[in-house]
Amino acid sequence: MKIAILGTGLMGAPMALNLIKEGFTVTVWNRSPGKTAALEAAGAVRAETPALAAADKDVVIIMVTDGSAVRDVLFSQGAAEHMSRGATVIDMSSIRPAEARDHARRLAEMGIGHIDAPVSGGTRGAETGSLAIMAGGEEAVFAGVGKIFDAMGHAILLGPPGSGQFAKLANQAIVAITVGAVAEATLMVREAGIDPERFRAVLKGGFADSVILQQHGARMQAGDFAPGGRSSLQLKDLENVLAECEAMGLSLPLTTLQRDRFSELVNRLGGGDLDHAALFLELLNRNKLAQ
Amino acid sequence: MKIAILGTGLMGAPMALNLIKEGFTVTVWNRSPGKTAALEAAGAVRAETPALAAADKDVVIIMVTDGSAVRDVLFSQGAAEHMSRGATVIDMSSIRPAEARDHARRLAEMGIGHIDAPVSGGTRGAETGSLAIMAGGEEAVFAGVGKIFDAMGHAILLGPPGSGQFAKLANQAIVAITVGAVAEATLMVREAGIDPERFRAVLKGGFADSVILQQHGARMQAGDFAPGGRSSLQLKDLENVLAECEAMGLSLPLTTLQRDRFSELVNRLGGGDLDHAALFLELLNRNKLAQ
């Protein structure tokens, strides 16, 4: 099976490596060409444009920053136009559900299948091939690319086009709220003179435990907010969650509160480029406390 | 080592069984005597009063509902009075940190050690001996009862008297907020036509995953709110968190919002005896939606 990967940044590059290891023939394209050197050394072919990368491939995987970047490579730079009827686009970027539905519809008119398949698990999940892949699209198309997903993590088809993107937004809402819960607990125990590291250790495996408690709780304690997942992206995700939910007439009080607080962190406290664990700084600021 | 256990309800009974299995000599007392029958069959001795249970024991474990119940068995019903100098009280009930500090001080005046050691993990954790035990007190006293904790789960000493209770409150804050996060995600995906069970499955092991997502998310989807942990107790815990934090001058926005919402569930929607996953009902009610 011949695969093209458009976008070989922090996530796309390790995903491409796992596909090469599994024996797929992989062509790569990236906006900044320097990022493909390690993949070429591992056996990938580099293409000069999205259109040249996509031509004659069975599957074109897209992993770029947002919906307009997806639209650009697919429809403005000619990737879709150069694909064969019966080929499949797997869009693993995190974009709005409505955008994914629009791309699926336009590709269907060209005889091209589409799966929206955003992921959770970060660069570590991409490297170890253990990504959670939230998929939306048609069952037959999904079944046809199962081996590709197996090389990168575990995928579940959640419903029609856009369902994967919608699930990713719900995932992000949980993450943003849990970061806030961990921030409040970390501050509480710290101010009570309890070592947050011991607190995290005793909670391990219990009802309050999570990857976020262990990883982001440690970042908060250390004041280490190098990203990871940027607060500006967390804010964008929460705004997308609430835009979708307002359109559905849904009121989500915790998600709304967290959107407002990430907005404060990004727009007033200058924390947009910090890891989303930096919500701890918003909580410190609110309490007039220092790290 | 001779142990008395005061309070053999849903949590105390399986904890007593694990101590018996480990070869400890166990005397039990419970306010309603019927609850000790199974323990007597397993080898425990039943005492008629807290004082008779506590007399001549090395360690007295208390597992009752709240601070006033602890005070009652320890100081009004004479358990402390009948204990020997050098013996230890392990209070595994969930009570306020200030109450735990007060008990530790009064017991110290009588030459009796005190460890506050509330737990997380529920009846399942008590049965399987895998409780998270959050301990406060003196290091030497804690070290002296380590084998008792090993029979029930894993314990970490977090600081001076009251530290265990304080950590339990922080634990409960995380739990209450995470329940709310899972409720919002469950409602979102349901209203978008995605099966919440598939959503939970794809998130397994990722950043948004937690025991609460898997267990309480399933309860929300099924509308199964048999307790488990009662909403009325969750509300009591959140009120205790905020009382402690106000005294420390701390502002915790998510915990405050969840306190208000559990108050709505308990005091206006009549959900006090339902599992705390019933916060989903408050969210449905807010959105004028049905289960």
What's the CA gap between B13 and B131, in Å, rounded? Answer: 14
Structure token digits, residue A101: 């539905």
**pLDDT-based confidence at residue B205 (cuts at 50, 70, 90):** confident
**A242-271 pLDDT, tens digit each:** 999 999 999 999 999 999 999 999 999 999
All domains in chain A, ordered by first residue: 2-159 (3.40.50.720), 166-286 (1.10.1040.10)
Contacts of B214 in chain A (CB under 8 A): none
Nearest residue of chain A to residue B280 (CA atoms):
A252
B188 with A250: Cβ contact below 8 A: yes
Residue A84 has pLDDT above 90, yes or no: yes
Cβ count near A65 (within 10 Å): 15
Q: Mind telling me how many Å the CA of B191 is from chain A's nearest CA? A: 8
Instruction: Please state the φ and ψ torsions of residue A100, each to the nearest 5 degrees.
Output: -60, -40
Given this model, what pLDDT does residue A11 score?
Answer: 94
Q: Which residues of A51-63 are buried (b: 16+ CB within 10 A; e: fewer)?
A: bbbbbebbbbbbb
Q: What integer is the mean pLDDT of B61-89? A: 97
Residue A33 has pLDDT above 90, yes or no: no
Residue B124 has pLDDT above 90, yes or no: no
* Residues A140, A144, A148, A151, CA torsion sign: positive
DSSP B84: P
**pLDDT-based confidence at residue B217 (cuts at 50, 70, 90):** very high
**pLDDT-based confidence at residue B122 (cuts at 50, 70, 90):** confident
Given this model, what pLDDT does residue B123 score?
Answer: 85
Q: What integer is the mean pLDDT of B141-159? A: 97
**pLDDT-based confidence at residue B33 (cuts at 50, 70, 90):** confident
What's the CA gap between A196 and B125, in Å, rounded? Answer: 23
**A-to-B residue pairs, Cβ atoms closer than 8 angstroms:** 232
Q: Would you call B11 an interface residue with chain A, using a CB distance cutoff of 8 Å?
A: no
Structure token digits, residue B220: 């929300």
CA nearest to A233, candidates A165, A166, A172: A172
What's the CA gap between B73 and A232, in Å, rounded? Answer: 54
Which A positions 40-99 lie with beta carbon below 8 A of chain B? 97
- Counting Cβ atoms within 10 Å, is residue A24 exposed (0-12), middle (13-18) or buried (19+)? buried
**A176-215 pLDDT, tens digit each:** 999 999 999 999 999 999 999 999 999 998 899 999 999 9
* Average predicted confidence (pLDDT) for chain A: 96
Long-range CB contacts (< 8 A, 24+ apart) of A237-242?
A237/A94, A237/A169, A237/A172, A237/A173, A237/A176, A238/A172, A238/A173, A238/A176, A238/A262, A240/A96, A240/A169, A241/A169, A241/A170, A241/A172, A241/A173, A241/B188
What's the CA gap between B208 and A177, in Å, rounded? Answer: 10
Residue A115 has pLDDT above 90, yes or no: yes
* Residue A57 and residue A3 in contact, taking contact as beta carbons nearer than 8 Å: yes
* Residue B238 and residue B171 in contact, taking contact as beta carbons nearer than 8 Å: no
Q: What integer is the mean pLDDT of B254-262? A: 98
Element (H, E) at B49: none
Given this model, what pLDDT does residue A124 score?
Answer: 87
* Residue A211 and residue A173 in contact, taking contact as beta carbons nearer than 8 Å: no
DSSP B41: H
Q: What integer is the mean pLDDT of B265-274? A: 98
**pLDDT-based confidence at residue A34 (cuts at 50, 70, 90):** confident
Structure token digits, residue A166: 């919608």
Q: Would you call B130 an interface residue with chain A, using a CB distance cutoff of 8 Å?
A: yes
State how beta strands A131-135 and A119-120 pair.
antiparallel
Q: Which of B169, B173, B189 sits opposite A166 (nearest CB)?
A: B189
* Average predicted confidence (pLDDT) for chain B: 96
Length of chain B: 291
**A202-250 pLDDT, tens digit each:** 999 889 999 999 999 999 999 999 988 899 999 999 999 999 999 999 9
Residue B85 has pLDDT above 90, yes or no: yes
Cβ-proximal residues to A232 (8 Å cutoff; 6+ apart), any chain:
A266, A272, A273
What's the CA gap between A159 and A139, in Å, rounded? Answer: 9
The residue behind tokens 């072919």 is A45
What's the CA gap between A156 and A180, in Å, rounded? Answer: 28
Length of chain A: 291
CA nearest to A247, candidates A92, A101, A85, A39: A101
The alpha carbon of residue A267 and the mean position of all alpha carbons in its chain are separated, in whole angstroms, by: 22
**A123-176 pLDDT, tens digit each:** 889 999 999 999 999 999 999 999 999 999 999 999 999 999 999 999 999 999
**B2-11 pLDDT, tens digit each:** 999 999 998 9
**pLDDT-based confidence at residue B121 (cuts at 50, 70, 90):** confident
Q: Would you call B178 an interface residue with chain A, using a CB distance cutoff of 8 Å?
A: yes
Given this model, what pLDDT does residue B34 score?
Answer: 81
Instruction: Please state the φ and ψ torsions of residue B249, each to the nearest 5 degrees.
Output: 75, 20
Q: Decide: pTM greater than 0.90.
A: yes
Given this model, what pLDDT does residue A206 score?
Answer: 87
Given this model, what pLDDT does residue B35 score?
Answer: 83
Does residue A168 carry a catalytic annotation? yes
